[in-house]
Chains A and B, each alone.
Chain A
């Protein structure tokens, strides 16, 4: 899987939007962009994924750059419960392996 780069940490205020960036300049045409998060003392949790178009679900939105070399996870109104480590992971749809390769991720702090 291609490498991703994320800031180590970010801060947000409660009820404000949060934009979590991810760079993946070596992304291939068959790589999907996946986001997982890990709440304190819990297992990782799927958030969202996309290929080329922007995606929305009940948890978040994913904005993908036109050249696909970067993406941004958007939490529209951060809550205290959104404080977690957020991982941006590339997964090749043609891969014969299911393993997720986690980096250090971005630790999001949400202030009341």
Chain B
């Protein structure tokens, strides 16, 4: 069964450093998402991406964040200058069709900012 994959599984970085989290969505999917979950808290929406552009972003997704689909398979989330409060699990998700279609989530990347 096709699945969403994410790398790395765990990323440790120093405050102020740039990180890139990578995702490979399911191959025929068209809609892509990033969510995050701070330890012990709810899963929060960050951004949705369709047709090579951001379709919606949350208040969390400020100028320090960016997303890109650099080729036909990868979908990346970049944080330019990490802060301590960026420490969280980051989940990538994809869906095939319309916005209300089922979203398939990856296993997540645990980001630890020291």
Contact = CB atoms under 8 A, between A and B. Distances in A.
Interface residues of B, number: 26
A103 interface: yes
B103 A46 contact: yes
B42 A99 contact: no
Contacts of B4: 43
Main SS at interface, chain B: strand
B66 interface: no
Contacts of B43: 38, 44, 87, 100, 102
Interface residues of A, number: 22
Contacts of B102: 46, 49
Interface of B: 4, 31, 33, 35, 42-45, 48, 50, 55-56, 58, 91, 93, 95, 99-108
21 contacts: A42-B108, A43-B4, A43-B105, A44-B43, A44-B91, A44-B93, A44-B105, A46-B103, A46-B104, A87-B43, A91-B100, A96-B55, A98-B31, A98-B33, A98-B95, A98-B100, A98-B103, A99-B58, A101-B45, A102-B43, A103-B42
